[in-house]
Amino acid sequence: MSRSMSTIVAVLLSFAVMAASAQEVPMEDRLVSVTHEIRMSLALATIAANSPTLADLRLHAQQLINLLEGTAGAHFVHLAEGIETSSGLLTEMHDLRPQFEMAALPDVVRSRVVASARNVTTFLELALASTLSSLSQRRLGEANADLLRAYAFLLAAYEKPCEATYIPGWWTILRAYNLVTRLETPQES
């Protein structure tokens, strides 16, 4: 077997192992993990949008891109050794979607969860596009504006309900799986 073919086989095997391990994690734990990653993405977007220089902004924007796309993403850049990487929020949402469609939930709840998953994925894709746009900007103000848009899309994906009208997103899914209390209760360190 040629070296390039061996590499391809190794990569495919690693994807199979990652997919199998993702299936073994209980749904509730996966949803909590995605919640934490969305929160992290909001933090990265905030840091990037408020960066004092284009170099700082680009570093934090790239971290956000890595979190959204994961190591297999087209725009992934390995930034430093020892930094934990993931499959990416977008990959996770695409992997969760069929499970939401088959979930043992009442039909009306399942349809809301599937629609919410579609919304979350769309908002994450829009956040990615805005973040990628920020990398091409030559002026700090324009790059900041792109990242503020990315933040707005991420906030829409997170969809923590309030008294105002909102578009169903991530918290609709968490409510369907009865995880709101678990995530709103302070965790012991």
Q: Supply the CATH number for residue 160's domain.
A: 1.20.120
Specify the pLDDT at position 74. 87
Determine, yes or no, domain membership for 92. Answer: yes
Tell me the C-alpha to C-alpha distance, in Å, between residue 14 and each of 51, 76, 183: 36, 17, 31
Q: What's the domain count of the chain?
A: 1
Query: Mind listing the pLDDT tens digit of every residue in the chain (189 residues)?
Result: 444 333 333 333 344 444 444 458 899 999 999 999 999 999 999 999 999 999 999 999 999 999 999 988 889 888 776 566 678 999 999 999 999 999 999 999 999 999 999 999 999 999 999 999 999 999 999 999 999 999 999 999 998 765 444 556 788 888 889 898 888 777 665
Measured N-to-C along each axis, helices 27-49 and 89-101 cross at an angle, to the nearest 10 degrees, of 150
Cβ neighbors of 105 (< 8 A, separation 6 or more) are 113, 176
Instruction: State the amino acid at position 123 in one-letter form.
Output: F
Please, which contacts does 78-84 make with residues 24 or more away whose CB atoms are closer than 8 Å? none
Q: 121 and 159 in contact (C-beta within 8 Å)?
A: no
Determine, yes or no, domain membership for 168. Answer: yes
Specify the pLDDT at position 154. 95
Determine, yes or no, domain membership for 135. Answer: yes
136 vs 110: CA distance, rounded Å: 40
CB atoms within 10 A of CB 115: 16
Cβ neighbors of 166 (< 8 A, separation 6 or more) are 159
Determine, yes or no, domain membership for 3. Answer: no
Following CA atoms 27, 31, 37, 41 in sequence, which dihedral angle do they give, to the nearest 10 degrees? 140
Determine, yes or no, domain membership for 119. Answer: yes
Range of the domain at 155: 26-184
Determine, yes or no, domain membership for 6. Answer: no
Determine, yes or no, domain membership for 1. Answer: no
Q: 96 and 19 in contact (C-beta within 8 Å)?
A: no
Q: 127 and 154 in contact (C-beta within 8 Å)?
A: yes
State if pTM tops 0.85: no
